[in-house]
């Protein structure tokens, strides 16, 4: 991704292998500070996935693959490493896909295999961008929810990939960026990426999306996905379902951008998708500042599931697929 720094414009990935360690951007402190941390073993990688230093389904998959490579390099028990990494985030399918892939290649060089996996994600995301950019026309006003950009996918993005490709091709459009409570990934991360890319946008409160849809100010919606069932039902950041329902009500095309690796062929539909429940503190506090009365309780589902009937199409590296085509 393109990043503007004091030293000038740089290209940087969300995470990468450097020698025998993994480097990654600490997404917890963006946009206040750009900090790169070092991961030396699979235990540290598991913690980084769990505490959301790295996040976004494809990026989590790459992190999991790198974690398995670190375990292989250190001579650790790969089955133990796999179990540890798999317990970090229950919803993102790419994590499980990557771990199982590395286990299947355990007789080879997992340092090389994990790098090939990460490079494959980047290539898929670039292709997703090329397919999706064909949907974006001059003058469009798009909406996206959460962060499905380079930070979530190693590089390029899923939902943001078509926007990157369209912008670099000279198309003029505008993006509404949902703030995405409770962790504010839209306000903190998506806006940061779009600013660095030079794409015109504005952050809006999650509750404002329906207002802009009804007012006829949104042409199309593009979101990412963390897990997709074979019938097209998909899990994404909490709040996605309501955007999809409102889009259907207002006749707005609703697209999901994701690589084929996000489709879980073991899941028939919505009822099979596990939803992660995270700490209530993510709702009760913002940047360690209490915003609720002392003693108040909170519920914090990290994802919701949107039925396939609300999806116009899936933008994948194989092309734009109709719901259920998988």
| Residue 213 structure tokens | 């849809």
Per-residue tokens: 39: 């991961």
Same domain, 180 and 299: yes
Give, as one character, the DSSP assignment of residue 322. P
Q: What spatial distance separates the first Cα and last Cα of the chain, rounded to whole Å?
A: 30
Structural domain for 101, as ranges: 2-123
**CA-CA distance, 214 to 201, in Å (whole number)?**
19
What pLDDT is attached to residue 157? 96
Query: How many helices (H) does the chain have, and how many strands (E)?
Result: 11, 18
pLDDT at 2: 82
CA distance 188 to 32: 9
Asked if residue 143 is part of any domain, the answer here is yes
Q: What is the CATH number of the domain that holds 183?
A: 3.40.50.10470
pLDDT of res. 53:
97
Domain shared by 74 and 167, yes or no: no
**Beta partners for 18?**
21
Q: Is residue 292 part of a domain?
A: yes
Listed in sequence order, the residues at least 6 apart from 124 whose beta carbon sits closer than 8 Å to its beta carbon are: 58, 259, 260, 261, 317
139 and 184, same domain (yes or no) = yes
Q: Note whether residue 180 is domain-resident.
A: yes
What is the residue whose two structure tokens read 């329902």? 245
Residues 166 and 308 reside in one and the same domain: yes
Does one domain contain both 155 and 227?
yes
- The question of whether 226 is a catalytic residue gets the answer yes
Which structure tokens are listed for 18? 């450097």
Query: Are residues 113 and 188 part of one domain?
Result: no
Q: Is residue 303 part of a domain?
A: yes
- Whether 281 and 185 map to the same domain: the answer is yes
In a shared domain, residues 65 and 157: no
Residue 9 is predicted with a pLDDT of: 80
**Tokens 């994600």 sit on residue:** 121
Q: Do residues 113 and 146 both lie within one domain?
A: no
Are 63 and 46 spatial neighbours (Cβ–Cβ below 8 Å)? Answer: no
Residues 72 and 179 in one domain: no
Distances (CA, A) of 248 to 151, 159, 210, 220: 29, 19, 11, 11
Same domain (yes/no): 311, 186: yes
CB 148 within 8 A of CB 223: yes
**Region of residue 305 (phi > 0: left; psi between -120 and 50: alpha; otherwise: beta):** beta
Q: At which of 62, 89, 123 does a domain end? A: 123
Choose, from 178, 206, 226, 233, the residue flagged as catalytic: 226
Boundary of a domain, candidates 123, 149, 172: 123
pLDDT computed for residue 270 by the predictor: 87
Bridge-based pairing state of the strands 220-223 and 201-204: unpaired
Is 309 part of a structural domain of the chain?
yes
Cis peptide before 182 (omega within 30 of 0): yes
DSSP-derived 3-state class of residue 227: strand
326 inside domain: no
Q: Are 262 and 94 in contact (CB under 8 A)?
A: yes
> What integer pLDDT is reported at residue 290 of this predicted model?
96
User: For the chain, which ranges sit under pLDDT 50?
Assistant: none
The predicted pLDDT at position 287 comes to: 87
Geometric angle at alpha carbon 316, from 87 and 177, rounded to 5°: 75
109: in domain:
yes
Query: CA 211 to CA 209: how far, in whole Å?
Result: 5
Strand stretches in the chain, DSSP E? 2-5, 8-11, 15-18, 21-25, 36-39, 141-144, 174-178, 201-204, 220-223, 227-229, 234-237, 254-257, 263-264, 285-286, 289-290, 303-306, 313-316, 319-321
Q: Where a domain ends, among 123, 146, 171?
A: 123
Backbone Cα Rg of the chain? 19
Looking at the structure of the chain, the number of domains it has is 2
Determine the angle formed by the axes of helices 110-133 and 57-74, rounding to 10 degrees.
170
Return the CATH number at 62: 1.20.120.420
Distance of CA 256 to the CA centre of its chain: 11
53 plus 154 within the same structural domain: no
Q: Is residue 198 part of a domain?
A: yes
pLDDT of amino acid 326:
72
Query: pLDDT at position 93, please?
Result: 87
pTM of the predicted protein model: 0.93
């Amino acid at each position: 991704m393109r990043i503007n720094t004091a030293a000038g414009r740089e290209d940087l990935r969300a995470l990468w292998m450097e020698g025998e360690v993994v480097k990654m951007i600490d997404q917890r402190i963006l946009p206040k500070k750009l900090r790169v941390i070092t991961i030396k073993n699979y235990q540290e990688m598991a913690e980084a996935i769990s505490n959301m230093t790295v996040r976004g389904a494809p990026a989590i998959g790459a992190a999991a693959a790198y974690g398995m490579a670190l375990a292989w390099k250190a001579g650790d028990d790969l089955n133990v490493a796999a179990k540890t990494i798999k317990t970090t985030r229950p919803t993102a399918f790419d994590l499980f896909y990557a771990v199982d892939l590395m286990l299947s290649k355990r007789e080879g060089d997992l340092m090389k295999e994990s790098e090939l996996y990460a490079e494959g994600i980047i290539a898929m995301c670039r292709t997703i961008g090329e397919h999706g950019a064909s949907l974006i026309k001059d003058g469009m006003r798009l909406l996206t929810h959460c962060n499905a950009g380079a930070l979530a996918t190693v590089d390029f993005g899923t939902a943001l990939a078509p926007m990157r490709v369209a912008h670099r091709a000279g198309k003029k459009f505008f993006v509404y960026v949902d703030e995405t409570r409770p962790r504010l990934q839209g306000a903190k991360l998506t806006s940061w990426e779009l600013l660095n890319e030079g794409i015109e946008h504005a952050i809006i409160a999650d509750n404002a999306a329906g207002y802009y849809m009804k007012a006829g100010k949104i042409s199309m919606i593009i979101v990412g996905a963390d897990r997709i069932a074979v019938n097209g039902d998909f899990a994404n950041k909490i709040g996605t379902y309501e955007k999809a329902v409102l889009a259907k009500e207002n006749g707005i095309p609703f697209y999901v951008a994701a690589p084929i690796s996000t489709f879980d062929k073991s899941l028939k539909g919505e009822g099979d998708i596990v939803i992660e429940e995270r700490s209530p503190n993510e709702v009760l506090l913002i940047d360690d500042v209490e915003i609720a009365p002392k003693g108040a309780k909170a519920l914090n589902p990290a994802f919701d599931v949107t039925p396939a009937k609300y999806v116009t199409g899936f933008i994948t590296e194989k092309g734009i697929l109709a719901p259920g085509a998988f």
